[in-house]
A and B are shown apart, each in its own frame.
Chain A
Amino acid sequence: MELAEIITPLFLSLIVGGTFVGIVFGAIPGMTATMAVAVCLPLTYSLGLENGLALLLGLYVGGISGGLVPAILLGIPGTPSSITTTFDGYPMTRQGEGEKALRIGIVASLVGGLVSLAILYLFAPALAEFAIRFSYVEKFLIILFALTVMGALSNNMLIGIFSGFLGIFISLIGTYDISDGGNGEIRLIPPGLEYWLESGFSLLPVLIGLFGLAAILDEAEAGVPKGQSAENIKTGRRSTFSFAVFRGQIVNLLRSAGIGTFVGILPGVGGSAASILSYSNARTFSRNPERFGKGEPAGIMASEAGNNGLTGGALVPLLSLGIPGDSTTALLIGAFTLQGIQVGPLFIGNNPVTWEAMIVAMLIANLAMFAMMYFAIRYLARIVTVPKHILFPVILMMCVIGAYTINYGIMFDVWTLLIFGLFGWLAVKLRLEIAPFIIGFILGPSAEIYFVKSLESFGSLSIFFTKSWIAVVMWILIAASIAGSIALSRRHVPPDA
């Protein structure tokens, strides 16, 4: 099938519709881009791969971008990745420059999205071509590296790595799959649950539970805070927006977009790290660092270019190595699985049209996001007033549909949703890290195959160090990420500790 045949009116409307719904999810505090993708995943069943991806990529771009609306207007980040947008966006709103701040954020989001898309387009095929040469040994080491990087960038390295390995452990419940070269024996199943857990926990109910139900339980625990009333939403028109505000900020925009993309490429590191790093860099290199935090447009630009830079970056490891760059792209693996397609180094080469369709979808999603938000911002600002008592029950119902239909009607998958919804709520309380857990859960079965098959083939543990120069480089990177994390944590230890 040619690309032109894929770009149909349905394809385009799914991107635009997805982007709009994503903006709504992003703009309502407590709801995220990940939740939007989790809830809408079952809709992709009947859409086919390209159309399904069009919808999900629109949701992703819209979800990341929508977070700036409440961040600027209310000082409440709509998504975790817009935390730094509140630092300068909300002060601008209080000074009567809300609309100007929103437009600055929207333009910066577009720049971030487009730069990261360009990097994705250029970088992912090259990395995939390189990764095709990897044997099981290198593939196993890549997963190990992904887990250590995630751990290193977590709030606490030990807990981050523990969470990743816990995800792997839980993914191993069930049969050692014959189709992957295993012996077909079951393991780790509690007595009496063999019938239900023979194939382990299904990925999508786990994801929907962790990102849909857990988030709503978290809101319920806080009493489902009342939505904002329309009277509180003041966009302010004291000074009008002009593109002149970007004069002298091109370097800031490009640097922030680059940082966001790079953070996105690192597996399992979310948008909050992207925007915090971009923001702190912008402040460091600014001629007026004292203005940051008081309504400095450059701060909004850095934060928003950074978090939207994540969108393209997070797809790089997914499409070249099969390792998701963040929680939302982890859900995209579910969309590929639904269509029977495995993502990894061979994906782009074997599915060139799907790859191009994804790039086109991302481009259109970014442009649609810009058009919708830039020209209709006064109306979109009212999204933050949508009542949660209406939305949350509907989302809960959609979670059930997603979980139930994933394996064509297995009620245990719905209970899995509840189990992991409760686990997700508890994990946050126990300070476990959800992103490494999820990446561990997704990559665990592959890691097992790569590890055991390497041992079966070579009969020696030393093969993990001596197989190739790539293996040596991977170990150096693993050691460097752990050492870097230890050095960073020592620097942050309070003097009295």
Chain B
Amino acid sequence: MDNLNQITVDFETSHLIFPTLIAIILAVLGLAIVITRRREIAAAPGYWRSVFARMDKVRFFGTIALTVLYFSLMVPVGDFWPNTGLGFLICSIPYLLLTGLLFLHERSLRKVAPVLVTALVAPVLVWWLFTDLFFLTLP
């Protein structure tokens, strides 16, 4: 009986033991979930249709698009002025302004003004705090 339990670990392949075990457990649990919740899984297309129907698509996908653009531009812009964090600063100002406008419901001058001020002040303050005071690298 004891021999059945004996396991010799080969150090060369020891990095695969635990991931394999976890993958097997995940597969078994996944199968159990599929079996026990098959009705909900079968109803998934309808569920996703209702999620997309209720979704504010402009704000949701707009946030993702602006964020992807923000992340993509930060480094190339920063490369013009290396090690200054200006890529972060220059990209953050329009990003804050555009996301602020995107989230705003009523875009009157009275409502837009605080968004504009925040978009200017917050990145400058944070940029100064992190680069000048904390000496941290920003893109």
The judgment on whether A and B are partners is yes
Determine the residue in chain B with the shortest Cβ distance to A159. B33
Contact pattern, A 195-228, Cβ under 8 Å of B = 1, otherwise 0: 0000000000000000001001100111110100
Contact pattern, A 415-437, Cβ under 8 Å of B = 1, otherwise 0: 10010001000000100000000
Instruction: Tell me which of A158, A176, A460, A462 contacts B36 (CB under 8 A).
Output: A158
> Do the beta carbons of A409 and B26 come within 8 Å of each other?
no
> Do the beta carbons of B100 and A389 come within 8 Å of each other?
yes
Q: Tell me, rounded to whole Å, the shortest Cβ–Cβ distance linking B103 to chain A.
A: 4
Interface residues in B49-98 by Cβ distance below 8 A to A read: 51, 55-56, 59-60, 62-64, 67-68, 70-71, 74-75, 88, 92, 95-97
A451-B7 Cα distance, complex, nearest whole Å = 12
Contact pattern, A 159-203, Cβ under 8 Å of B = 1, otherwise 0: 101100110110010011000001101111000000000000000
A380 sits at the interface (CB 8 A):
no
> Do the beta carbons of B5 and A461 come within 8 Å of each other?
yes
Instruction: Tell me which of A156, A186, A213, A390 contacts B100 (CB under 8 A).
Output: A390
> Do the beta carbons of B96 and A188 come within 8 Å of each other?
no
> Do the beta carbons of B68 and A216 come within 8 Å of each other?
no
- Of the stretches A59-67, A325-333, A394-402, the one at the interface is A394-402
> Do the beta carbons of A401 and B126 come within 8 Å of each other?
yes
- How many of chain B's residues touch chain A, expressed as a range? 35 or more
Q: Which residues of B contact A169 (CB under 8 A)?
A: 19, 22-23, 26
Are A393 and B118 also in contact (CB < 8 A) when A176-B14, A401-B126, A462-B2 are? Answer: yes
A375-B118 Cα distance, complex, nearest whole Å = 30
A429-B51 Cα distance, complex, nearest whole Å = 9
> Do the beta carbons of A221 and B55 come within 8 Å of each other?
yes
B16 sits at the interface (CB 8 A):
yes
Q: Which residues of A contact B95 (CB under 8 A)?
A: 393, 396-397
Instruction: Tell me which of B8, B17, B59, B138 contacts A401 (CB under 8 A).
Output: B138
Instruction: Tell me which of B36, B92, B139 contacts A397 (CB under 8 A).
Output: B92
Q: Tell me, rounded to whole Å, the shortest Cβ–Cβ distance linking B116 to chain A.
A: 11
Q: Which residues of A contact B21 (CB under 8 A)?
A: 451
> Do the beta carbons of B136 and A392 come within 8 Å of each other?
no
Contact pattern, A 432-462, Cβ under 8 Å of B = 1, otherwise 0: 0000000000000001100110011001111
Q: Which residues of B contact A347 (CB under 8 A)?
A: none
Are A462 and B59 also in contact (CB < 8 A) when A187-B15, A401-B126 are? Answer: no
Task: From B21, B29, B30, name the one whose CB has the most chain A CB atoms within 10 angstroms.
Answer: B29
A185-B104 Cα distance, complex, nearest whole Å = 49
> Do the beta carbons of A226 and B67 come within 8 Å of each other?
no
A186-B15 Cα distance, complex, nearest whole Å = 8
Are A217 and B18 also in contact (CB < 8 A) when A411-B139, A429-B51 are? Answer: no
Q: Which residues of B contact A404 (CB under 8 A)?
A: 88, 137-139
A191-B55 Cα distance, complex, nearest whole Å = 34
> Do the beta carbons of B22 and A165 come within 8 Å of each other?
yes
Q: Which residues of B contact A223 (CB under 8 A)?
A: 56, 59
Contact pattern, B 96-116, Cβ under 8 Å of A = 1, otherwise 0: 110111011100000000110
Determine the residue in chain B with the shortest Cβ distance to A463. B5
Q: Can you list 29 A-B contacts (CB < 8 A)? A: A46-B133, A46-B134, A46-B135, A176-B14, A183-B11, A183-B12, A183-B14, A183-B15, A389-B101, A389-B105, A393-B95, A393-B96, A393-B97, A394-B96, A396-B67, A396-B99, A397-B92, A397-B96, A400-B70, A400-B71, A404-B138, A408-B136, A408-B137, A447-B18, A451-B21, A452-B9, A460-B2, A460-B7, A462-B5
Q: Top 5 nearest A-B pairs by Cβ distance?
A: A176-B15, A223-B56, A389-B103, A409-B137, A448-B18
Query: A42-B130, A461-B5 known; 8 other A-B pairs, CB under 8 Å?
Result: A45-B136, A158-B32, A393-B99, A394-B96, A396-B96, A418-B67, A418-B71, A455-B17
